Amino acid sequence: MTHNNLFSALRAAFPADMSATAVETDEGLRYSWQDLDRATAMMANLLQSLDLPGGSRVAVQVEKSVEAMVLYLACLRAGCVFLPLNTAYQSAEIEYFIGNAEPAVVVCSGANFGWVSKIAFKAGTQHVFTLNDDRTGSLLERAAHHSDQHTPVSRQADDLAAILYTSGTTGRSKGAMLTHGNLLSNALTLKDYWGWTSTGGPDGRGDVLIHALPIFHVHGLFVAIHGALINGSKMIWMAKFDPKRVIARMKEATVFMGVPTLYVRMLAEPSLDKAAVRQMRLFIAGSAPLLIETFSEWQQRTGHTILERYGMSETAMLTSNPYAADPRYANQSERRGGTVGFPLPGVSLRVRGDDGQDMPVGEIGGIQVQGPNVFKGYWRMPEKTAEEFTTDGFFKTGDVGKVDERGYVTIVGRSKDLIISGGYNVYPAEIEGYINEMPGVAESAVIGVSHPDFGEVGVAVVIAKPGASLKPEAIVADLKAKLANFKIPKRCFVVPELPRNTMGKVQKNLLRDQYKNLFSA
Ligand code: MLC
Ligand code: AMP
């Protein structure tokens, strides 16, 4: 049965005219649907020629390119498990992921081949390929020798399609295992809920998506790519987000997806006005809270109401504001700023108190979810997986929120100690661990502070050991040498002591309050 392979479902939605453009890069390169089909076949044949054991992981740390997307699709097609890695990760981070996931194949950029291959071979990986963002690299050279015909490998809905590492509030990162069934069910739900259309776009060919997000997280990899492919819609492909370029290309597009920072940056552009967006049908935001100011300013400037939705690596999309009045969802017609809308069809969502009881309407508690999109568990962490699910099978998101009388879900905070900065997750515990190991450091606390561009950024507050002298710049420089750049605290303070409660626990809420205006104008 090949029909449970997610690739087969995406492929089945390719339009009849395979010569039409599927992806156009911002530099003007065009890839037809035929090109995508053939390129994924060649790469899938290459992967299969390696004779990998079933369920083999393919770990990928490469710059964004259409070929990188082809590699993802080829992994699905060949029945491998795709493991995307943020390009900002440095060697200690990569060493952990590769050591933990034990991928059979690692793909990295040519520039990083030296250090990445060393880590990979040490961890027992047999095959390391390179893939650059200029259509070069050993992966493409090798794939070129393979046939452009390929039958997708049979997969069941419960078979793994991808592992996405998400950092933990305690301990190391956990690999969220997502199945073909998880991803396909979510893609089909969103196609319907967001009203994707195959006709009626600017060129009469239906929706056109501007893809400007990185492709190593749920948002850019699954929500955006699946959304376009399963509707047979063209993508305008941007390797990096540039607000001017996105606005310039809106006249050829209908759908845009972004984290709030992208909307904030576009609002700073004078070229953003009603004329620039006249072809656009839908602006979607998620991955971090969208400030009501951004929501309202966007409405005023463009006449469009941003549709905010909520999801996570472990679950793909969970809730969404409505696209339009739909007779099936009679009470759900309005996109309400400050809310993340309604549980998507098929998703059960409940809000529970610390005692495990359902909270009354409008009251705050922990958000728990269940549905065909909810992941299979954490890679090789059965105890951790069991901890995160209730006995009746709901996943504890770690987000804190409420549901109002009309059913709108609002997220008010997180029970997990997590900072979301420009849509990337930063776990204070990880950064504190690195700081606490530095000579002369007694202890530290990393907190999230409001930031006009990134929404929230990390700030480190550090205590020196008696007699030690610490320089904030040296602490930051040390972190920069070891960690992905987006995790580096934007400011660091060395102070005499941390506020504590009677139990001796550091009161981060007091620190957050103390530093809350650090980045305000
Ligand atoms: C970059 N920098 C950041 C940062 N991004 N700092 C904090 N938070 C971030 N998110 C810093 C770098 O460290 C660097 O600092 C400087 O900014 C310039 O780096 P850059 O790479 O040139 O930045 P830029 O291209 O401007 O990137 C900003 C951005 C990017 C907003 C475009 O962060 C981005 O693409 N974010 C989207 C993340 C995303 O897709 N999330 C989805 C997760 S899925 P220095 O000091 O080194 O110069 C998920 C589930 C769901 O959450 O619901 O969707
Ligand atoms: P990740 O682990 O990167 O998948 O991040 C998932 C987390 O992002 C969720 O648990 C939420 O805390 C947060 N998130 C995603 N979408 C939204 C949103 N629309 N509003 C607020 N938080 C969000």
Q: In the chain, what are the domain boundaries?
A: 6-240, 315-414, 418-515
CA–CA distance, 268 with 305 (Å, rounded to integer): 18
User: Distance from the CA of 375 to the center of ligand 2, in angstroms?
Assistant: 15
425 CA: nearest ligand 1 atom:
52
Topology classification of domain 315-414 = Luciferase; domain 3 (2.30.38)
Average pLDDT over residues 94-117: 98
**Helices 260-267 and 292-302, packing angle to 10 deg:** 50
Q: Which ligand is nearest to the CA of 176?
A: 2
* Residue 421 Cα distances to 44, 139, 288, angstroms: 35, 33, 8
DSSP structural state of residue 232: T
* Residue 107: closest CA among 36, 43, 171: 43
Query: At residue 1, does pLDDT exceed 60?
Result: no
491: Cα separation from own chain's centroid? 25
Ligand 1 binding pocket includes 201 (Cβ within 6 Å): no
Q: Do 216 and 85 touch, CB atoms closer than 8 A?
A: yes
Question: Which of 344, 399, 430, 486 for mutating ligand 2's site (highest number of atoms within 8 Å of CB)?
Answer: 399
CA–CA distance, 455 with 432 (Å, rounded to integer): 21
Nearest CA to ligand 1 atom 45: 485
* Residue 11: closest CA among 230, 180, 191: 230
| Count of other CB atoms within 10 angstroms of residue 113 | 17
CA–CA distance, 358 with 356 (Å, rounded to integer): 7
pLDDT-based confidence at residue 327 (cuts at 50, 70, 90): low
User: Distance from the CA of 510 to the center of ligand 2, in angstroms?
Assistant: 24
User: Distance from the CA of 191 to the center of ligand 1, in angstroms?
Assistant: 27
Query: At residue 2, does pLDDT exceed 80?
Result: no
3-class SS string, 122-187: HCCCCEEEECCCCCCCHHHHHHCCCCCCCCCCCCCCCCEEEEEEECCCCCCCEEEEEEHHHHHHHH
Topology classification of domain 6-240 = Rossmann fold (3.40.50)
User: Distance from the CA of 338 to the center of ligand 2, in angstroms?
Assistant: 14
Average pLDDT over residues 350-365: 96
Average pLDDT over residues 464-490: 97
Ligand 1 binding pocket includes 222 (Cβ within 6 Å): no
CA–CA distance, 243 with 252 (Å, rounded to integer): 15
User: Distance from the CA of 286 to the center of ligand 1, in angstroms?
Assistant: 14
Q: Which ligand is nearest to the CA of 413?
A: 2
Q: What percent of the chain has pLDDT over 70?
A: 96
Query: At residue 375, does pLDDT exceed 80?
Result: yes
CA–CA distance, 204 with 466 (Å, rounded to integer): 71
Nearest CA to ligand 1 atom 41: 423
User: Distance from the CA of 287 to the center of ligand 2, in angstroms?
Assistant: 4
- Specify the higher pLDDT residue, 414 or 200: 414
What was the pLDDT predicted at 328? 63
Coil, helix or strand at residue 473: helix
Whole-prediction pTM: 0.97
User: Distance from the CA of 216 to the center of ligand 1, in angstroms?
Assistant: 12
Q: Which ligand is nearest to the CA of 314?
A: 2
- Beta-bridge partner residues of 389: 395
Q: Which ligand is nearest to the CA of 263?
A: 1
397 CA: nearest ligand 2 atom:
10
What was the pLDDT predicted at 167? 77
Question: Which of 177, 178, 312 for mutating ligand 2's site (highest number of atoms within 8 Å of CB)?
Answer: 312
Q: Nearest 5°: phi and psi at 229?
A: -65, -40
Nearest CA to ligand 1 atom 38: 423
65-80 per-residue burial string, b: 16 or more CB within 10 A, e: under 16: bbbbbbbbbbbbbbbb
Average pLDDT over residues 485-513: 96
Q: Which ligand is nearest to the CA of 222?
A: 1
Nearest CA to ligand 2 atom 12: 399
User: Distance from the CA of 289 to the center of ligand 1, in angstroms?
Assistant: 15
CA–CA distance, 147 with 41 (Å, rounded to integer): 7
Ligand 1 binding pocket includes 219 (Cβ within 6 Å): yes
pLDDT digits (tens, 9 = 90+) for 158-208: 999 999 999 766 668 999 999 999 999 999 999 999 999 887 556 666 999
- Beta-bridge partner residues of 462: 444, 494
Average pLDDT over residues 34-42: 98
Q: 295 — alpha (psi -120 to 50), left (phi > 0) or beta?
A: alpha
* Residue 397 Cα distances to 152, 338, 350, 369, angstroms: 33, 19, 11, 7
Q: Do 193 and 344 touch, CB atoms closer than 8 A?
A: yes
Residues with CB under 6 A from ligand 2: 166, 218, 286-289, 308, 310-313, 340, 397-399, 411, 414, 420, 425
455: Cα separation from own chain's centroid? 16
What was the pLDDT predicted at 275? 98
Q: 58 — alpha (psi -120 to 50), left (phi > 0) or beta?
A: beta
Q: What percent of the chain has pLDDT over 90?
A: 93
CA–CA distance, 186 with 178 (Å, rounded to integer): 11
User: Distance from the CA of 319 to the center of ligand 2, in angstroms?
Assistant: 11
DSSP assignment of 279-320? T--EEEE-SSPPPHHHHHHHHHHHSPPPEEEEEETTTEEEEE
Ligand 1 binding pocket includes 422 (Cβ within 6 Å): yes
425: Cα separation from own chain's centroid? 9
Nearest CA to ligand 2 atom 23: 288
User: Distance from the CA of 311 to the center of ligand 2, in angstroms?
Assistant: 6
Encoded tokens for 504? 């001796």
Question: Which of 163, 411, 412, 486 for mutating ligand 2's site (highest number of atoms within 8 Å of CB)?
Answer: 411
CA–CA distance, 413 with 104 (Å, rounded to integer): 39
R_g of the chain computed on alpha carbons: 23
What was the pLDDT predicted at 172? 81
453 CA: nearest ligand 1 atom:
31
User: Distance from the CA of 80 to the center of ligand 1, in angstroms?
Assistant: 28
* Residue 201 Cα distances to 109, 224, 234, 282, 393, angstroms: 36, 17, 10, 12, 41
Question: Which of 183, 219, 287 for mutating ligand 2's site (highest number of atoms within 8 Å of CB)?
Answer: 287
Locate tokens 């259509």: which residue? 135
Average pLDDT, the chain: 95
Question: Which of 424, 426, 450, 492 for mutating ligand 1's site (highest number of atoms within 8 Å of CB)?
Answer: 424
CA–CA distance, 21 with 30 (Å, rounded to integer): 6
User: Distance from the CA of 422 to the center of ligand 1, in angstroms?
Assistant: 5
pLDDT-based confidence at residue 3 (cuts at 50, 70, 90): low
Q: What is the CATH number of domain 418-515?
A: 3.30.300.30
User: Distance from the CA of 290 to the center of ligand 1, in angstroms?
Assistant: 16
Instruction: Characterize the bridge pairing of strands 316-320 and 342-343.
Output: antiparallel
